[in-house]
Amino acid sequence: MPNGFFTDATLCIGCKACEVACKQWNQLPSDGYKLSGHSYDNTLALSSTTWRHVAFVEQARPSDDTGKAVNWLMLSDVCKHCTHAGCMEACPTGAIVRNEFGDVYVQPDICNGCGYCVPSCPFGVVDRNETTGLAAKCTLCYDRQKDGIEPACAKACPTDSIRFGDLDTLKERARSRVENLHARGETSAYLYGVDEKTSVGDLNAFFLLTDRPSVYNLPEQPRLPQENIATSFLASLITATVLTLATAFSLWKPSKKDRRFHR
């Protein structure tokens, strides 16, 4: 069984230790120190140089004391290493493969920088590096796994919000966690990326959430690009038919008989 991540949003405290550990281990450049205007989130999204991203979601709620209060939702996002990976299917050079640990891995020495993988990812994970021109994303710390060491982000997480290991074991633990939360009254808790009925299939990096996926900037129903082929073909066919008829009508010239009739 492949390895993967189980990220529990209810345990995330937004410390960004995972972001820092990921950048430090993989020698990724800083995102700068400019304020984004989105709460404490200065990275905003995953990119070719940010392979772990902590989202800060502020939700206003009424309070007895001040009249206003904020609910915090935090989530450390990462590449999902999908069962059916759109990026891997779109890659024309075979640069994106599934390695011996079940991870979706980009081989930089084979990538030609075509960028086909970028729009093929339904989660917007894959990105092209502006410096190298090559596709880049989370490797699930492939080099650490080969030495039997867990990924840097999971190692650095102080609350065990990020768990790494065998997927079957993680799913069992995640389901138990959801049951425990439900018993404590947190009935909104559920697993995102487990037992998925979409073309993407199960995610090898799945999440425990307490609100709709879109609140955490995740797609409600992730879809592979090929699902749009039939719809796109039909739209193109209708457009081509309309243009053909319009062109034919504009080039049509009435016969002499028709002209006499109009007089």
Q: Give the residue ranges of the annotated binding site.
A: 12, 15, 18, 22, 79, 82, 87, 91, 111, 114, 117, 121, 138, 141, 153, 157
Nearest of 182, 8, 5, 29 to residue 82 by alpha carbon: 5
Integer Cα distance of 156 and 18 in angstroms? 6
C-beta separation of 95 from 111 below 8 A = yes
How far is residue 87's CA from residue 4's CA, in Å, rounded to a whole number? 18
Q: What is the DSSP letter of 147?
A: T
Number of CB atoms found within 10 A of residue 20's CB: 15
Length of the chain: 263
Terminal-residue alpha carbon distance, the chain: 82
Residue 238: what residue type? I
Q: What is the DSSP letter of 111?
A: -
> Regarding beta strands 3-8 and 104-106, do their DSSP bridges make them parallel or antiparallel, or are they unpaired?
unpaired
Cβ atoms 141, 152 nearer than 8 A: yes
User: Could you give phi then psi for residue 9, rounded to 5 degrees?
Assistant: -65, -25
Cβ within 8 Å of residue 117, ≥6 positions away: 86, 87, 88, 90, 91, 96, 106, 126, 135
Binding residues for [4Fe-4S] cluster: 12, 15, 18, 22, 79, 82, 87, 91, 111, 114, 117, 121, 138, 141, 153, 157
